[in-house]
Amino acid sequence: MRRKKRWIFLLIFLVVIGVGIGLSQRSPQIEPGSYLTLHLGGSYTDAPAPSLPQELLGSGQSNLTDTILQLRKAALDLRLKGAVVRISPMALSFAKLQDLRDALAYFRKAGKEVIAWVIGEDGSGIAEYYLASVADRIYFAENALLPLLGLRANYLFLGGVWEKLDIDMQVEKVREYKTFGDLLVGREMTEAHREMANSLLDSLNQQLLQDIAEARGLTPEAVQQLIDGPTMTPADFQQAGLIDGTQYYDEVLDSLKAAGETKAKTVSMSTYRRVKPGAVGLKPEAKIALVYGIGGIVTGKSDWGATGDSMGSDTIVEAIDEAAEDDTISAIVFRINSPGGSPLASDQIWHAVVRAKAKKPVIVSMSGAAASGGYYIAAGATYIVAQPATLTGSIGIVFSHANIEGLLGKLGMRTETVSRGAYARLLSPANSWSQEERQQVQRLMHDLYDTFTQKVAQGRNMGVSDVDEVGRGRVWTGAQAKDIGLVDELGGLTTALRVAKERIDLSANTAVELIFFPKPKGIIPTLLERFGVRAQAPLPEPLRRVADQLLLLAREGGGKPLFTMPYLLRID
């Protein structure tokens, strides 16, 4: 009886979903002179634009790709006069902020007004203001607590944890800037780590100051002085010329009313999504594959969850191969957001990229991070695009191994080992490396590092020694990476799409149909996932980045070398 009720409920639910899908297919009527209203806040996933079932069921994260594409479409819509953007506290990488900011700038460049209304009380407002600064007019909510406090980078050191647990955590790394191992077993920054961290923060701060200064008619030096002030209250912001005033949201909307109207003409983003591309004159002339590689790189299948994502080599290789073999697809854009991971899985994906490149252009679009293994899989592409704030490079390798014999002893347990072979105990959880064993680990790691640098040299048309000079485990911003030859052009997803069009002899303004890989899930898998173990709120992006790497370490790092970048809690 209970099972019958479940099936009846599922049937009713499917009917409701079917009706919802039918209604969602209808293109909305939009009055000329309307303003698009949208909310930007929280975290944004790098994933394919949601399918109709996923969109109707909702998700815990906003979709970056969909937001960008909708704003690009809206820029061409002659019925829209502008946009009102409600900005609340953000929890995403600086590079993703740049993606959103670029999309708003494109909308504004089309001759449409952008009005930003900012609300929040969760500490520093540097991310929210940076995004808002691209607008024509900026208003803060009354009593908003969004002080302009500047950037900081927080790193988490785990060295003291193992001592308390009586675990002998051993780490070997190739090159001095490969600081993931230092974070794992250290208690403070090494000199190389501090040098790299300051270099990254200097690059990001320069981008922040320059972009805000250009938007508000100031100099970068003046913006830095306002940050150092500090600029704390809405009155401080207005006096400095950083905002146009404070208003309530309804007052912002009321200001848009035309003479004789009782309310402003607006259309929400959720409604605007139903506008067909053809309604604004977009008629696709080609197909481009958009392949997503998200999370720590592992062997096997990809997995997406609330606590972290993994990029499975089987899933991504299959997606790239399918896109390469499809004769109706003219080019591939490979969107990467990954701190790296398994050398084996990275190499399998790299090989698929190189194989696909022999058939059609493969353009890499780097998101928040494409570092270590994330850079390895990008290196074989035709062309690499990164945001100025993308974290990339980290060409190096780290190997961790834990001897848990002490912990077992605390729990009243012990192990005994019988082995054959001089190095049979090398990866035993009850073994600390001898000098000879450590030398063998180092030999393996240097072999992998040599392979890494050779493949980067091959893909980037550089000498191996030149790759080693800019490698050595060092993380770079996208802006820095372009200067040293690791990246071809600065920009976001739309820049990568423009390059892909150019490579197949289309103009930048030519419309194309995007084919997403891996293929979005259908309604049944979506329902099972939504009502199963995955129906949970996602972690904020800064914590997801740490979770991605800790899950990667748990899955792939037990006595295995890793191509992975140093994790950090947040740059804000």
Structural element, H or E, at residue 36: strand 34-42
Three-class SS of residue 549? helix
How far apart are alpha carbons 56 and 453 in whole angstroms? Answer: 46
How far apart are alpha carbons 70 and 67 in whole angstroms? Answer: 5
Cis peptide before 28 (omega within 30 of 0): no
Q: Residue 231 carries which DSSP code? A: B
How far apart are alpha carbons 370 and 365 in whole angstroms? Answer: 9
Structural element, H or E, at residue 251: helix 249-254
**Chain centre distance of CA 294:** 8
Q: Are 243 and 138 in contact (CB under 8 A)?
A: yes
DSSP letters for 317-355: HHHHHHHHH-TTEEEEEEEEEE-EE-HHHHHHHHHHHHH
Q: Which phi and psi angles does 397 have, rounded to 5°?
A: -150, 145
b/e 323-362 (16+ beta carbons within 10 angstroms → b): bbebeebbbbbbbbbbbbbbbbbbbbbbbbbbebbeebbb
How far apart are alpha carbons 39 and 97 in whole angstroms? Answer: 14
Which listed residue (34, 330, 342, 372) is catalytic? 372
CA nearest 146: which of 69, 223, 72, 227? Answer: 227
CA nearest 201: which of 157, 133, 154, 134? Answer: 154
Q: Are 296 and 564 in contact (CB under 8 A)?
A: yes
* 372 in active site: yes
Q: Are 243 and 139 in contact (CB under 8 A)?
A: yes
For 110, 114, 127, the CA distances from 103, given in Å and listed in that order, are: 11, 11, 16
Structural element, H or E, at residue 208: helix 191-216
Q: Are 495 and 482 in contact (CB under 8 A)?
A: no
* 178 in active site: yes
Which listed residue (81, 96, 173, 178) is catalytic? 178
Residue 483 has a CB neighbour count (10 Å cut-off) of 13
Within 358-489, residue ranges assigned H as helices are 373-376, 405-410, 435-460, 464-470, 478-483
Q: Which phi and psi angles does 527 have, rounded to 5°?
A: -65, -45
How far apart are alpha carbons 162 and 289 in whole angstroms? Answer: 45
For 13, 41, 200, 467, 572, the CA distances from 337, given in Å and listed in that order, are: 35, 19, 18, 22, 19
How far apart are alpha carbons 27 and 19 in whole angstroms? Answer: 15
Residue type, 281: G
- Residues taking part in catalysis: 178, 372
